[in-house]
Amino acid sequence: MEQNSQIFLSLRFAAIVLVLGVWMCEGLFDREELKKSCKPWERFGCTSGSPGCGEKECGVEHTSDICTADCKIGCWCRGNLYRRKRDNKCVPKHECLL
């Protein structure tokens, strides 16, 4: 009886590990697809979700005094480029109003 119980626990543990492994791999594939979708002026990465802490946006004051440690994964404007809402492109600040 004790041996059957150990086998059952081992099988249950293996099933949990298998499910977690599949779940993790699905996340990696989604991440790779997202990474491939980034435009040349964007970089793939993680940024804080706090307002004013992540990507620079046209018309939004960029403040970084208090930023949370959460991670939003995606394609973000590189360097000193700003996200223009009208067409979702990354542009230099002087092109924000164009």
Domain boundaries, the chain: 1-37, 39-98
What is the distance between the alpha carbons of residues 23 and 15, in angstroms, rounded to a whole number? 12
Cβ pair 73, 40 in contact under 8 A: no
What is the distance between the alpha carbons of residues 32 and 49, in angstroms, rounded to a whole number? 21
Other C-beta atoms lying within 10 Å of the C-beta of residue 39: 12
**Nearest partner of 32 among 1, 65, 2, 75, judged by Cα:** 75
Q: Please, what is the average pLDDT of the chain?
A: 76
What is the distance between the alpha carbons of residues 91 and 96, in angstroms, rounded to a whole number? 7
Q: Which fold has domain 39-98?
A: Laminin (2.10.25)
pLDDT digits (tens, 9 = 90+) for 14-50: 555 444 444 444 454 577 788 888 999 999 988 877 7
